[in-house]
């Protein structure tokens, strides 16, 4: 099992606002790095290309209000995965966020994708600070 944990990021926004924003994939486009192209999204599903290499599909399968989103891969993805977004309230207008990725990637594939995925998830975690909620 491959597990990649992003940095834990302090977000100066209420946990409920961050959760509500992330609960809709149509909002994710603003969080994606420039390597993501062909973005398409509905509230609970999205597809995109990463670096022009692979088409990725994701679906929100579980929402624990203001605390966690569980996202799973769907469609023709290079490997199945789960992505959990954890939000921890630290005050009235502050929270912490972290992304945790888990997948059964073969050792060869893991060597190729671990570093870029770690960078990708850390970038997404940093962008939690920029979510437009108050």
- pLDDT single digits (tens) 43-89: 999 999 987 678 899 999 999 999 999 999 999 888 899 999 999 99
DSSP E strands in the chain: the ranges are 2-5, 9-11, 36-41, 45-50, 54-64, 68-73, 81-91, 94-103
Domain that residue 110 falls in: 2-130
- Residue 28: CATH number of its domain: 3.30.530.20
pLDDT greater than 80 at residue 109: yes
- What is d(CA 25, CA 46) in angstroms, rounded to the nearest whole number? 6
If you average pLDDT over residues 92-100, what whole number do you get? 97
Total domains in the fold of the chain: 1
Ramachandran angles phi, psi of 120, nearest 5°? -60, -50
- What is d(CA 36, CA 38) in angstroms, rounded to the nearest whole number? 7
């Amino acid at each position: 099992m491959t597990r990649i944990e992003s940095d834990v990021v302090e977000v100066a926004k209420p946990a409920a606002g961050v959760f509500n924003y992330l609960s809709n994939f149509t909002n994710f486009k603003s969080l994606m790095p420039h390597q993501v192209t062909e973005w398409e999204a509905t509230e609970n599903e999205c597809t995109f290309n990463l670096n022009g290499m692979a088409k990725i599909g994701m679906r929100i399968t579980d929402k624990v209000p203001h605390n966690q989103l569980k996202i799973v891969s769907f469609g023709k993805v290079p490997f199945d995965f789960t992505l959990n977004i954890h939000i921890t309230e630290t005050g009235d207008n502050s929270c912490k966020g972290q992304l945790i990725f888990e997948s059964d990637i073969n050792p060869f594939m893991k060597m190729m994708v671990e570093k870029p995925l770690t960078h990708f998830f850390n970038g997404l975690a940093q962008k939690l600070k920029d979510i437009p909620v108050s």
